[in-house]
Amino acid sequence: MFEFITIGLTPPLLIAIAFSLPIFTLVVKKKLFYDVYALISLTIALILSLYNYYLVFYVVRGPIVYPFGGWPPPVGIVYEVDALSAYFGVIISVVMLLIGVYSVWYLRGVSGYEWYYTLLLGLEAGMIGCVYTGDAFNLFVMIEVLSVSAYGLVAFYRTSHEAIEAGIKYSLIGATATTVYFIALVFIYGTFGTLNMADIAFKSRTASEFPFSGVVVGNIHLASAIALALSMWTFTFKAAVVPNHFWLPDAHPAAPTPISAALSGLVVKVGVYAIIRFLYTIYGLDTLQPISNVVNLMMKVLIVLGMASALIASALMIVQTDIKRLIAYSTIMHVGFIVAGLSLGTQLGLEAALYHTINHAVGKALLFLSAGVLINAAGSRNIDEISGVGRYLRLTTLTLILAILSLEGLPPLAGFFSKLLLYEAFISSGLAILAAVLIISSAFALLAYIKLLYGAYFKLPTRDFGKIREEWTYLIPLLILTALLVVLGITAPLFVNEVLSPISVELTNPMKYITAAEKVIKVLGG
Amino acid sequence: MNINIDEFLANISLISLIAIIGISLYGIFARPNIIKKIIALTIFTDAANLLAILVGFRRPPSIPPVLLNLQPSPEDIRYFTQVAVDPLPQALVLTAIVIGMAVNLLIIFIALQVYRLYGTLDVRKVRRLRG
């Protein structure tokens, strides 16, 4: 049980590292110290999450449960890492490390870097905690850890009107959303008598007795319907699916550029992760009759909302003049694709959604980071005012174009294969209209991207930008992200077979998740 | 006429709880003043916490979840499991209150910053962003 200490160690260690950083501000003032501290911590997180991935995929070949304090699952808090959690953990830590390297360049001349790094590390700790936890209440706590860091980072430029306004909007509604999830948990606890995910999954499928937490009380169908509806509201808020997307186009551009990349690429994916966890593991299409109807209905609603997100966001992308807002709307569009794909309820749809998740995380981070370089050089975020600054920053423009091509879906790059998989998944589910929406919204997005590229590169420079030279500090993360896009694209069949199909098989047969927890109970509980 | 006082109190608290949730959501989404929004948010959080406490509550006769004997006999434990209220929701609420305090402080700081920058807390006058 305790040989898998890295599973339980990763999130608490990261939280400890993140929130002990302010102590150093009393004695150290040098920026170099904080850079090194953050990079070392992010590297540790990457190594730990890669090791956890190795454990889950190659050593145990199934979910790993880490019981905190030696308490068996429904009694104590456990971390349960299955293939899905390990996959998301690796995406998060890889992209966060590259964002950390970029931040070293970005934060030159910006005061308050020590608080920036504290919140950045807190954000990563919260995200990894969200994906590793096996306890629904601990998920609430981790969402709050991640949200507090995100609110702080959005309002980081506290003298800027835009940042403060986006911050108050995001934080007020965000705090309401997480409280709604807390109410959902109360309904779950009131009927199921437990908050352990494996335990709820077991009871929603059999309604029989589980060790330590006893039997269900009252009407589990009604309570599950209420809990699902409330928690889906929270998670679609976090993932910015259409009726709840209003905060994203304000919050993501207002943050510092590396944070925009982290919020757009990763934080919305935590909402996607929670939706998958609730619709496939905790509840699912194989649950007891009335509950599975609710899950089915929820999936239908999410398909409609996902497609609405894609259409609305891609139409709004065209009219944007602010580069970062344009990219933020593109996030809403891609999350719409992902949510629609995972709500098909088929293995193919799930694989396509998960593949698009990693491609969008890498591609969107690359797009934001390279656009950030151009914005920084031009001193403006307006498409009309950056006027050909890309001519002086050729490598950066190249990575920007590659990111756009990948998100649009040009064959050798990764985005093409995930869009192709999504297309196939929609067609094979008999929903040709979704495939049409996929193509139409991609076409709209292309128009917006052409406008962006025209402003950034093809337009003749109207003013003198002074001396601009490209620097390796930001080119290294940009080139690594580009390489990732190419590698993900070239190895697409291998990636789908080796990584995505084990995840989707495990998600469609959640008994493995439950038996892993039961095994721990047998060992610890006698 | 017989009125069951326990049932009456339980119903009253449930109905008022639902009313409070409705009123506080109205406050968060419809009131223009940010401070009033924050007050409504804290009321909403407290209503959620009260709901959690009610789920773990037991109709009287009930006792707090504390064993007074240091060396309890089996009878003590049997009596305890029959009358003690559920301690887990109380632990959840303690955690939620602590988290809520941190979030509220952050939001209040941002509201203060809004006041410093705009000179007003009315969200209708703060709107510069569109879309």
Out of A166, A167, A182, whose CB is closest to B48? A182
Q: How far is A327 from chain B (nearest CA, A)?
A: 14
Judge whether B76 lies within some domain.
yes
Distances in Å between the Cα of B83 and the Cα atoms of A127, A194, B55, B65, B76 are 40, 20, 15, 9, 11
The pLDDT of residue B131: 41
Q: Do B111 and A147 touch (CB under 8 A)?
A: no
Q: From A246, which residue of chain B is nearest by alpha-carbon distance? A: B131
ω before A73 within 30° of 0 (cis)?
no
Mutation site for A-interface testing, chosen from B41, B51, B103, B115 by largest number of A Cβ within 10 Å: B103
Q: In angstroms, rounded to a whole number, what is the distance separating the alpha carbons of residues A137 and A181?
A: 9
Judge whether B131 lies within some domain.
no
Please say if the pLDDT value at position B1 is more than 70.
no
Q: Say yes or no: A316 contacts chain B, CB-CB below 8 A.
A: yes
Closest CA to A67 of A129, A131, A11, A8: A8
What single DSSP character describes residue A460? P
**Whether the predicted interface score ipTM is above 0.95:** no
What's the whole-number mean pLDDT along residues B77-100? 89
Q: Do B114 and A165 touch (CB under 8 A)?
A: yes
Could you report the average pLDDT of every consecutive run of 10 residues in chain A (526 residues)? Answer: 78 92 90 93 94 91 88 87 93 94 90 91 94 93 93 92 90 94 93 90 86 82 92 93 89 92 93 94 87 92 93 91 92 94 91 93 93 88 81 88 90 88 92 90 91 84 74 90 91 90 89 88 78
Q: In angstroms, rounded to a whole number, what is the distance separating the alpha carbons of residues A515 and A512?
A: 5
Confidence of residue B64 (pLDDT cuts 50, 70, 90): confident
Each residue of B24-48: pLDDT tens digit? 999 999 989 999 999 999 999 999 9
- Based on the structure, what is the number of domains in chain B? 1
Token representation of residue A84? 């899905």
Q: How far is B8 from chain A (nearest CA, A)?
A: 21
Q: Domain extents for chain A?
A: 2-461+468-525
Residues of B in contact with A161 (CB under 8 A): 117-118, 128
Q: Count of alpha carbons within 13 Å of B81, Cβ hemisphere only?
A: 6
Place of tokens 């730990």: A48
Token representation of residue A460? 């003749």
Enter the pTM of the model. Answer: 0.94
Query: In a 10 Å sphere around its CB, with 0-12 CB exposed, 13-18 middle and 19+ buried, how is residue A161 labelled?
Result: middle
Judge whether B9 lies within some domain.
yes
Three-state SS for A510? Answer: coil
Q: Do B114 and A172 touch (CB under 8 A)?
A: no
Q: Count of alpha carbons within 13 Å of B117, Cβ hemisphere only?
A: 22
∠A286-A512-A85 over CA atoms, to 5°?
A: 100
Residues of A in contact with B45 (CB under 8 A): 175, 179
Q: Do A164 and B92 touch (CB under 8 A)?
A: no
Q: In angstroms, rounded to a whole number, what is the distance separating the alpha carbons of residues A80 and A134?
A: 5
Mutation site for B-interface testing, chosen from A119, A160, A176, A179 by largest number of B Cβ within 10 Å: A179
Q: Is the separation of the CB atoms in A63 and A516 below 8 Å?
A: yes
Q: Say yes or no: B111 contacts chain A, CB-CB below 8 A.
A: yes
What's the whole-number mean pLDDT along residues B12-34? 91
Mutation site for A-interface testing, chosen from B41, B51, B99 by largest number of A Cβ within 10 Å: B99
* Domain that residue B120 falls in: 5-126
Residues 81..140 of A with a Cβ closer than 8 Å to B: which? 137, 140
Q: In angstroms, rounded to a whole number, what is the distance separating the alpha carbons of residues A113 and A110?
A: 7
CATH of the domain at B54: 1.10.287.3510
H/E run at residue A79: strand A78-81
Q: From B105, which residue of chain A is nearest by alpha-carbon distance? A: A148
Confidence of residue B130 (pLDDT cuts 50, 70, 90): very low
Q: Say yes or no: B118 contacts chain A, CB-CB below 8 A.
A: yes
Q: In angstroms, rounded to a whole number, what is the distance separating the alpha carbons of residues A340 and A212?
A: 38
Mutation site for A-interface testing, chosen from B28, B29, B113, B116 by largest number of A Cβ within 10 Å: B113
In chain B, the percentage of residues whose pLDDT exceeds 90 is: 46
Q: Do A167 and B41 touch (CB under 8 A)?
A: no
